[in-house]
């Protein structure tokens, strides 16, 4: 093997054999004509042998003169091969980016035009990131959720450039047992969510993989760990809360299963109108007005709490307002129900169930919790860096 600069090269030279002829009867011998040497086959690999600090998303170039590449493998130090393919320009690229701070070996084989095999090998090391992108995902792996539950990918660093957001979206794979149209949409610089165009089908099984290892997410910013989860969609629970009737009508798979008298936000503390989801559940909470900028107004323990917004809207038990439930609004913005009804609702509810509130003067703001249904499908698509739906 010969090296020229940083490019690893193997040269195959055909041996030339000269044969002498003999004559009988004392004749003289004459030299045979030399056999012409065929073209010299050369095989080169980039990144070259010994290269360090290679970006994980770099392609691998294998070139052969006077021959054809027949085999290419890329493997880490443990011998694990990396899946990839050769593009139209002849550059091999991994299916997903290589792992940072990792040594790789490229092994290439080719056949020269003279029919002889050529082989070459190069070892290189990927760079160590100056900045690392961490992530988290929701729902929980193995969780059963409601039909309105979005997938949330939470990021440790802000992603602002459209090209970087597009790279992240391309690294996110959604697989569904019943394929439906859906899309990713950026709800902030640190969060991108996936929702179907319509509510999830009942019984849907969804697997999400975030191939973030080696992903370039910004200047000197690289992902170092993949994420994945699988969840299933439970029965369709849709609750419609009306300010006009002071009732919450609860449906399961389209059938009414319970009607609950409620009291909502009093004037000045109006409840939010809009399509929300059950974000989390807590059997016991201390609600403190200081958390909404009104210290000293109230501090009370509440039972059977189902969160509807980040800002503190809950469906919960309120034994102190049972006399107003079904007729008047007296709460600080929450949906109040009797202890028995609130407990029933708490036990019935799955995270991701739909809760629609209508008739109040205050509109739900997008981003006040996971609120994917506060936007039209067209507006949701507009939040995607790729600008197109996904069919799982």
Name the E strands within 269-382.
272-277, 280-288, 299-307, 314-317, 335-337, 354-358, 362-363
Contact 187, 384 (CB under 8 A): no
Contact 345, 260 (CB under 8 A): yes
Residue 239 DSSP SS3:
strand
Residue numbers annotated as active site: 316, 334
Residue 106 DSSP SS3:
strand
Order of all β-strands in the sheet with 237-242: 255-261, 247-252, 237-242, 354-358, 272-277, 362-363
Q: Can you tell me the distance from the alpha carbon of 28 to that of 21, in angstroms, rounded to the nearest whole number?
A: 9
**By C-alpha distance, which of 292, 351, 349, 283 is closest to 317?**
283
Q: Can you tell me the distance from the alpha carbon of 25 to that of 176, in angstroms, rounded to the nearest whole number?
A: 89
Q: In the beta sheet, which residues pair with residue 149?
A: none
Longest dimension (CA), the chain: 135
């Amino acid at each position: 093997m010969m090296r020229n600069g940083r490019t690893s090269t193997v040269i195959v030279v055909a041996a030339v054999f000269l044969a002498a002829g003999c004559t009988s009867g004392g004749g003289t011998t004459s030299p045979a004509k030399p056999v012409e040497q065929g073209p010299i086959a050369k095989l080169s690999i980039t990144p070259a042998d010994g290269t360090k600090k290679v970006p994980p998303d770099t392609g691998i170039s294998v070139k052969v003169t006077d021959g054809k590449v027949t085999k290419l493998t890329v493997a880490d130090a443990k011998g694990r091969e990396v899946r990839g393919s050769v593009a139209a320009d002849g550059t091999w690229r991994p299916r997903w980016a290589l792992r940072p701070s990792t040594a790789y070996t490229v092994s290439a084989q080719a056949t020269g035009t003279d029919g002889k095999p050529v082989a070459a090998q190069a070892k290189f090391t990927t760079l160590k990131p100056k900045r690392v992108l961490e992530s988290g995902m929701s729902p929980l792996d193995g969780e059963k959720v409601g039909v309105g539950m979005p997938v949330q990918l939470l990021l440790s660093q802000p992603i602002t450039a459209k090209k970087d957001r597009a790279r992240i979206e391309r690294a996110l794979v959604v697989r569904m047992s019943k394929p439906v149209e859906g899309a990713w949409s950026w709800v902030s610089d640190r969060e991108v969510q996936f929702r179907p165009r319509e509510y999830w089908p009942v019984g849907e099984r969804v697997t999400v993989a975030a191939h973030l290892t080696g992903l370039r997410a910004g200047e000197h910013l690289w992902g170092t760990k993949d994420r994945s989860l699988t969840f299933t969609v439970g029965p369709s629970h849709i609750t419609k809360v009306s300010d006009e009737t002071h009732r919450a009508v609860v449906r399961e798979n389209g059938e009414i299963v319970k009607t609950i008298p409620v009291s909502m936000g009093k004037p000045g503390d109006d409840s939010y109108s809009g399509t929300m989801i059950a974000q989390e559940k807590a059997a016991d909470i201390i609600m403190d007005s200081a958390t909404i900028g009104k210290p000293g107004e109230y501090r009370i323990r509440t039972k059977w709490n189902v969160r509807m917004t980040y800002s503190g809207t809950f469906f919960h038990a309120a034994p102190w307002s049972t006399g107003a439930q079904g007729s008047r609004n007296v709460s600080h913005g929450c949906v109040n129900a009797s202890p028995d009804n609130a407990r029933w609702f708490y036990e019935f509810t799955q995270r991701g169930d739909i809760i629609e509130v209508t008739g109040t003067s205050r509109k739900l703001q997008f981003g006040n919790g996971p609120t994917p249904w506060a936007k039209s499908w067209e507006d949701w698509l507009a939040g995607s860096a790729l600008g197109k739906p996904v069919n799982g």
